[in-house]
A and B are shown apart, each in its own frame.
Chain A
């Protein structure tokens, strides 16, 4: 294809996105679009799968049967999200095995928040309320992103996430209304998860390398800082409602901006965790890689069995 032809295709492609048309797997797309989507979508899928681990940590110890069932269902939903998102990513011409390989070798990233430990039951509440809350803010705009399979997956994911967020908040309400030990547990969880949740919305705009291109492709519709502000403005009144204190002495309502001013985020911590130095980075990868390696003989057996069945079927057909 000549350079001029490619330019022409690119112009048509950008025009389609500008008209809010969806790009589908078989449509022509610039290589950079494909790669950016593989990166973002797989990162999202990996986050769902790694995100199962901190919550999975409390399945056997959930305090009541009702909470256990809800937690199991939630973690199962995350596995389901991982499954759709991997499948949606596969439409861009990459296999799930290759995507796993990228995760296991550290080439692909996942949301840094899952590198923090879940040390008490209240963390199940805080994760649902804050982490899923922040995720929704990030993800709702993606329901109208330009790549069709991603947009459609996100519609379903967002519905379930919003349920998880309410479920998490409900855990927090119950703790906040409970005994002094329970209240203390809830406040402690908020103290530990608040700042990582703010970081979860991504580096501040001046440090974010992907924003501009992503805006054009509707992979992003608001900047990280705008999303963060939205999250804070939405969450602070919820904390107040249940009598918990946001662990930020600089947090203050700004009448003029009709928004909260907030304290400085420790970006050094954020980058350290991204680089692999968070409290649980090693454990999370060990768990994922371990499950994959321990499962190899199972996957091999399933393939061998399927092949045998196929051969038997063919023999019977002759």
Chain B
């Protein structure tokens, strides 16, 4: 139970950690000052959530590990985030598409997690959902602006949606830890979110005059620690200080 709960928390938190890291690296380089501030804000929200989850995970683990050990001292194969969130900041269309495709899921997931029988997870979900509701509004609005903006922006937005579509199905895969937690009414049964997810996503894409990709081939692996090549580089930045200067306080 303890191990499953620990892994379950990591599965949730790692998504926010990796996406937060991606969004944070944009700070100072956004297409406008306003979007720069918004992307930094999303990153800040995600890291705030990450801290709550990892602090809880550290407590569950019950040894001396800290939130930072969990965040920064695992091996690449031990990160349990979905492949979607680790995809690079190719351009602003990819950044928005990645955010949007995750936000829609994240909002639905947290809505359910609020009902968790684990009071800490339920409390974190209740706090986070307000932030995520804003993230979803922000990314959906940009999907519409870029989809229904200029010809160029439409082409770029469509390319990004097509490029990232292959990572959406993994959001609804269940790991062993997920199943165990669902059985105890602690975890969310993500398989039940799938239909609603594609309904919301397809509606926004239609409104944005974008096409829903037809591809039915999906990538998976992140949830069991098999990642794309992008993650290693992200981790080498994330872990740099902790690896170079072990066992120090900052």
Contacts and interface: CB of A to CB of B under 8 A. Distances in A.
Contacts of B91: 294
Interface stretch (A22-30, A53-61, A153-161): A53-61
Given A76-B37, A86-B33, A305 B27 contact: no
A301 B47 contact: no
B27 A52 contact: yes
A308 interface: yes
Interface in B19-50: 21, 24-25, 27-37, 40-41, 43-44, 47-48, 50
A178 B249 contact: yes
Contacts of A79: 27-28, 33, 36-37, 40
B174 interface: no
Contact of B44 (A62, A72, A175, A308): A72
A63 B245 contact: yes
Interface string A289-307: 0110011111111111100
A305 B28 CA distance: 25
B37 to A, nearest CB: 5
Contact of B145 (A53, A59, A83, A302): A302
Nearest to B241: A63
A181 interface: yes
Interface stretch (B3-11, B78-86, B150-158): B150-158
A80 interface: yes
A148 B248 CA distance: 47
A109 to B, nearest CB: 19
A72 B23 CA distance: 10
For chain B, what secondary structure do more than half of its interface residues adopt (helix, strand, loop), or is it mixed? helix
Contacts of B40: 72, 75-76, 79
B37 A299 contact: no
B47 A83 contact: no
Q: Which of A76, A182, A301 counts the most chain B CB atoms within 10 A?
A: A301
A182 B43 CA distance: 28
B30 A291 contact: yes
Interface in A66-81: 66-69, 72-73, 75-76, 79-80
Contacts of B240: 61
A241 interface: no
B149 interface: yes
B115 interface: no
A203 B37 CA distance: 33
Contact of A298 (B25, B27, B32, B33): B32
Contacts of A277: none
Contacts of A135: none
Contacts of B47: 65, 68-69, 72
B111 interface: no
A203 B95 CA distance: 43
Nearest to A179: B248
B144 interface: yes
Q: Which of A73, A76, A121, A308 counts the most chain B CB atoms within 10 A?
A: A76
A76 B41 contact: yes
Interface in A84-110: 86
A251 interface: no
B148 interface: yes
Contacts of A179: 245, 248
A59 B24 contact: yes
Interface residues of B, number: 48
A172 to B, nearest CB: 12
Contact of B27 (A63, A69, A75, A86): A75
Contacts of A302: 145, 149
A61 B152 CA distance: 34
B54 A59 contact: no
A64 interface: yes
Contacts of A72: 24, 27, 40, 43-44, 47
A108 to B, nearest CB: 16
B146 interface: yes
B217 interface: no
A168 interface: no
Nearest to A290: B29
B238 interface: yes
Interface in A272-318: 287, 290-291, 294-305, 308
B28 A65 contact: no
B71 to A, nearest CB: 6
A53 B27 CA distance: 8
B27 A297 contact: no
12 contacts: A53-B28, A60-B21, A60-B25, A68-B47, A79-B33, A82-B33, A83-B37, A86-B33, A174-B249, A174-B250, A178-B249, A297-B150
Instruction: Name the 6 nearest CB pairs between A and B, nearest first.
Output: A295-B31, A301-B149, A301-B153, A63-B241, A56-B28, A52-B28
Given A49-B28, A297-B152, A301-B152, 10 more contacts: A49-B33, A52-B28, A53-B28, A61-B240, A63-B242, A290-B29, A297-B153, A299-B31, A300-B153, A302-B149
